[in-house]
Chain A
Amino acid sequence: MIAYFFIIIGLVIMLFGILGMIILPNFLLRIHSSTKCGVTGAINILIGFMFYSLELDFLLRMGLIMIFLFFTAPIIAHSLAVFHLQGRNIDQGDEE
């Protein structure tokens, strides 16, 4: 039951992140939505999977994937934001 709780919370968070990624008009708003909501939802869903099967192999490997996502998503978001602000596309963010 705890597993389904975490999985449903993660799916709802991820759904809102993807909704914001479609709707929002600017690139910086989109990166705000998708990085926070996407990674938080993924970590919640993986915690739910860990509660679903309480075996050591699954626990260790899912914990490793969680740590990896938790460290690499801010790096990607930072690189994309720097690329957006330094590049030639700085005045084209409000096309929609």
Chain B
Amino acid sequence: MSWVLYVLLLMIPPVLYRLIRGPLLEDRLLALNVIAVLIILIMSYHSLIYEQSFYLDIALVYALLSFSEILAIIKFSHIYSPVPEKDATIETEG
């Protein structure tokens, strides 16, 4: 059964690559979401191995916290990056 833990742990570095090198903020938030799902799965695996079911409560709280955290970062970025007009962006970029 321990190969599940190894595969789940080996899945994290490619997502970390996307989190570090992602060109946009959205890519980083997406990578953060996937890493949160992987950590929830690892916590569930440890609750199975040690046969203590209250680790799953921690996994549930972690899922709730990561969800609210990502929504809060999106809201913060909406506030502090105002939407420019299209003509202005075309003039500055082209």
Give me the interface of A with B, judged by CB distance under 8 Å.
Answer: 7, 11, 14-15, 17-19, 21-22, 27, 30-31, 34, 38-39, 42, 45-46, 49, 52-53, 55, 57-58, 61-62, 64-65, 68-69, 72-73, 75-76, 79-80, 83-84, 86-93, 95-96
The residue in chain A whose Cβ has the minimal distance to the Cβ of B47 is A58
A39 to B30 CA separation, bound complex (whole angstroms): 12
- The reply to whether A22 and B26 contact each other, CB–CB distance below 8 Å, is no
List residues of chain A with CB within 8 A of the CB of B83.
86-88
Assess the A91–B56 pair: CB atoms within 8 A: no
Given known pairs A79-B74, A83-B26, the reply for A69 and B15 (CB within 8 Å) is no
B58 CB to closest chain A CB, in angstroms? 10
Could you say which interface size class chain B belongs to? 35 or more
Binding site for A on B (CB under 8 A): 1, 4, 7-8, 11, 14-15, 17-18, 23-27, 29-31, 33-34, 37, 40-41, 44-45, 47-48, 51, 53, 56-57, 59-60, 63-64, 67, 70-71, 74, 77-78, 81, 83-84, 89, 93
Contacting pair A11 B7 (CB below 8 A): yes
Q: Is the CB of B81 within 8 A of A42?
A: no
B17 touches A87 (CB 8 A): no
Q: A68-B67, A76-B29, A91-B89 are in contact. List 20 more A-B contacts (CB 8 A).
A: A11-B7, A15-B7, A21-B18, A21-B30, A27-B26, A34-B30, A42-B37, A49-B48, A58-B53, A64-B60, A65-B63, A69-B63, A75-B67, A79-B71, A83-B26, A84-B24, A89-B24, A89-B25, A92-B23, A96-B23
Residues of B within 8 A of A11 (CB): 4, 7-8
